[in-house]
């Protein structure tokens, strides 16, 4: 009887392993992380979360990153009237730190100076990316890719 139980348990284990290995895995989406470079971050982005929270209703930050000349344009209303975007342009630079990974920094046009932070870019996919301030890991921004910038 003991042998029969062992054979039965082994048979059930083998059948369950075969059954789970035959499941169609094409329905499971695997997040593909991209290398952080000018090509992969170029495009139009919207700030979706700031420190884990969505932006206040009616506020926005959009960013267009241009690969060829390493420039950016920000459209935001955080410090302007809600229906009038504040447009800021400048250039950006990407460097790689062996421990931290890709770090982006930038400077604004028109004598506005450098960005307040350098950002470690994490979890870059085709649809989103996370920026973490190098000097303050609690300052986190999540950007999502958009087709167009509605306030241009």
Give the pLDDT confidence of 113-123 residue by residue, as tens digits: 899 999 999 99
Q: Which residues contact 101 (CB under 8 A, 6 or more apart)?
A: 36, 120, 121, 122
Does 7 fall in a domain?
Answer: no
Confidence of residue 136 (pLDDT cuts 50, 70, 90): very high
Do 134 and 103 contact (CB within 8 A), yes or no? yes
- Tell me the CATH number at 59: 2.40.128.280
For the chain, percent of residues with pLDDT exceeding 70: 76
User: What pLDDT sits at residue 29?
Assistant: 66
pLDDT at 103 over 50: yes
Does 19 fall in a domain?
Answer: no
Does 137 fall in a domain?
Answer: yes
Does 3 fall in a domain?
Answer: no
Does 140 fall in a domain?
Answer: yes
Does 150 fall in a domain?
Answer: no
* Mean pLDDT of the region 16-22: 53
Confidence of residue 86 (pLDDT cuts 50, 70, 90): confident
Does 68 fall in a domain?
Answer: yes
Confidence of residue 78 (pLDDT cuts 50, 70, 90): confident
Range of the domain at 109: 38-145
Q: How many domains does the chain have?
A: 1
Task: For the chain, give percent helix, strand, coil, nearest 5.
Answer: 20, 40, 40
pLDDT at 128 over 90: yes
User: What pLDDT sits at residue 147?
Assistant: 96
Does 33 fall in a domain?
Answer: no
pLDDT at 4 over 60: no
């Amino acid at each position: 009887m003991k042998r029969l139980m062992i054979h039965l348990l082994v048979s059930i284990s083998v059948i369950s392993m075969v059954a789970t290995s035959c499941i169609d895995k094409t329905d499971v989406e695997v997040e593909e992380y991209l290398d952080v470079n000018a090509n992969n971050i170029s495009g139009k982005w919207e700030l979706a979360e700031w420190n884990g929270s969505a932006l206040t209703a009616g506020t926005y930050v959009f960013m267009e990153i241009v690969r060829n000349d390493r420039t950016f344009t920000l459209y935001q209303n955080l410090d302007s009237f809600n229906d009038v975007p504040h447009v800021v342009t400048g250039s950006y630079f990407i460097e790689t730190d062996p421990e931290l990974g890709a770090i982006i920094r930038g400077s604004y046009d028109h004598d506005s100076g450098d960005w307040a932070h350098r950002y470690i870019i994490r979890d870059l996919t085709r649809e989103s990316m996370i920026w973490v301030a190098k000097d303050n890991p609690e300052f986190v921004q999540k950007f999502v890719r958009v087709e167009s910038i509605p306030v241009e």
